[in-house]
Amino acid sequence: MTQLPEVIEEPGRPGWVDWLRLMVEIARPRVIGLVVFTGLPALALGRDGWVPMSVALPVLLGTGLAGAASSALNAWVERESDAHMARTRKRPLPAAVMLPNVVLGYGLVLTVVSTVILWAVGGAMAAAVSLATIAFYVLGYTVWLKPRTPQNIVIGGAAGGTAPLIVSAAADHELSLGAWLLFLIVFLWTPPHFWAIAIFRRKEYEQAGFPMMPSVVGDHGTRLRSVAYTVALIVVTLIPTALGYLSAAYAVTAAVLGVGFLALVLQSVRAQRPVVDWRVFKGSVVYLGLLFTAMLGDLILA
């Protein structure tokens, strides 16, 4: 009996669902979500009322798209160094599942779209702050600071805190004091957050050629610097209450959260074990999320 030849099916090309998943992944949605979330209190902090939804929603959308643009362009710039790190080598570009030119084009399109949305809804200042954020994150931080100085994340952290400034610029056509306080909170939170992962992933950062703080001053020196930034962070989180923007209930909540975060950072100093620094990294995200949730709750109930 004649045996029929075996039919071998070739794997098909990625469908549109796969491409959509990759586009979302390259934009780092969890990071964008956190960035946009930090902009929410600026919709009411220090204002007589909430920003109208007709302005708030497109401004938040434009801010999120600007964050996605930054992530995509960052991925394009760091595609080679990402291949040297375990936590990044499976990203679309180092894993060779997306073409670099596609990601570059994607980032540029997102830059244009986010700028147009913010300009149309919030005016030139909001668009300018957003565009400056993208430029500073990609060119200032990723291209210039990160491979050259251990202070990279300290200075570059400014790019992660501009969502409140964009909201303020769009709503009031100025950068309010409340928005600057929110910016400062994220700015001071960034070093202990990223230095914790820099300690935990120290060898990987060194293999990628980045002079992160632990490689320059050592793990202990980095942890002590994190303590200093955390103490400053706690102080700044209490200023909105001192200015009358938020209630005493928020201040108590912020103080409790701050002391808890500081205790975690101090534990890393005492333990001198990278596994504890990993807990600081994870705990810092929880801390920031709860802090801004407390702000929002206070503003809603006011």
Q: How far is CA 3 from CA 6, 7, 9, 134, in A?
A: 9, 12, 18, 62
How long is the chain?
302
Alpha helices for 201-212 (secondary structure H): 202-208
Q: What is the pLDDT of residue 6?
A: 43
| pLDDT-based confidence at residue 126 (cuts at 50, 70, 90) | very high
pLDDT digit string (tens) for 26-66?
Answer: 999 999 999 999 999 999 999 888 999 999 999 999 999 99
Asked whether residue 8 carries a pLDDT value surpassing 60, the answer given is no
Average pLDDT over residues 273-283: 97
Instruction: Assess contact for 50 and 296: CB atoms under 8 A.
Output: no
Average pLDDT over residues 63-71: 96
Q: What is the pLDDT of residue 13?
A: 56
Instruction: Name the nearest CA neighbour of 39 among 193, 200, 179.
Output: 179
Sign of CA dihedral 166, 172, 173, 176: negative
For residue 99, the 8-state DSSP code is: -
Q: How far apart are CA 196 and CA 282, in angstroms?
A: 9
| pLDDT-based confidence at residue 23 (cuts at 50, 70, 90) | confident
Token digits of residue 279:
């807990």
Query: Mean pLDDT, the chain, as a whole number?
Result: 91
Percent of the chain with pLDDT over 90: 74
How large is the greatest C-alpha to C-alpha distance in the chain, in angstroms?
91
Asked whether residue 130 carries a pLDDT value surpassing 90, the answer given is yes
Of 12-16, 34-38, 256-260, 286-290, least confident by mean pLDDT is 12-16
31 CB neighbour count, 10 Å cutoff? 14
Of 10-14, 141-145, 188-192, 195-199, least confident by mean pLDDT is 10-14
| pLDDT-based confidence at residue 104 (cuts at 50, 70, 90) | very high
Asked whether residue 71 carries a pLDDT value surpassing 50, the answer given is yes
Map out the domains of the chain with their CATH numbers. Answer: 20-301 (1.10.600)
Q: What is the pLDDT of residue 83?
A: 78
Average pLDDT over residues 116-132: 97
Asked whether residue 9 carries a pLDDT value surpassing 70, the answer given is no
**Helix or strand run (H / E) with residue 133:** helix 124-135
Instruction: Assess contact for 28 and 88: CB atoms under 8 A.
Output: no
For residue 243, the 8-state DSSP code is: T
Under DSSP, is residue 246 helix (H, G, I), strand (E, B) or coil?
Answer: coil
**Helix or strand run (H / E) with residue 224:** helix 213-242
Phi, psi of 78 (to 5 degrees): -100, 20
For residue 168, the 8-state DSSP code is: H
Q: Greater confidence, 19 or 257?
A: 257
Instruction: Name the nearest CA neighbour of 182 among 49, 29, 35.
Output: 35
Token digits of residue 233:
């962070």
What residues contact 218, with CB distance under 8 A and at least 6 apart? none
Average pLDDT over residues 90-97: 77
pLDDT digit string (tens) for 233-257?
Answer: 999 999 999 999 999 999 999 999 9
Instruction: Assess contact for 255 and 294: CB atoms under 8 A.
Output: no
Q: What is the pLDDT of residue 159?
A: 92
Q: ∠264-158-110 over CA atoms, to 5°?
A: 115
For residue 268, the 8-state DSSP code is: H
Token digits of residue 80:
């080679």
Q: How far is residue 5 CA from its own chain's centroid?
A: 55
Asked whether residue 86 carries a pLDDT value surpassing 80, the answer given is no
Instruction: Assess contact for 76 and 83: CB atoms under 8 A.
Output: no
Instruction: Name the nearest CA neighbour of 268 among 165, 168, 195.
Output: 195
Instruction: Assess contact for 295 and 286: CB atoms under 8 A.
Output: no
| pLDDT-based confidence at residue 156 (cuts at 50, 70, 90) | confident
Q: How far apart are CA 124 and CA 130, in angstroms?
A: 10
| pLDDT-based confidence at residue 298 (cuts at 50, 70, 90) | very high
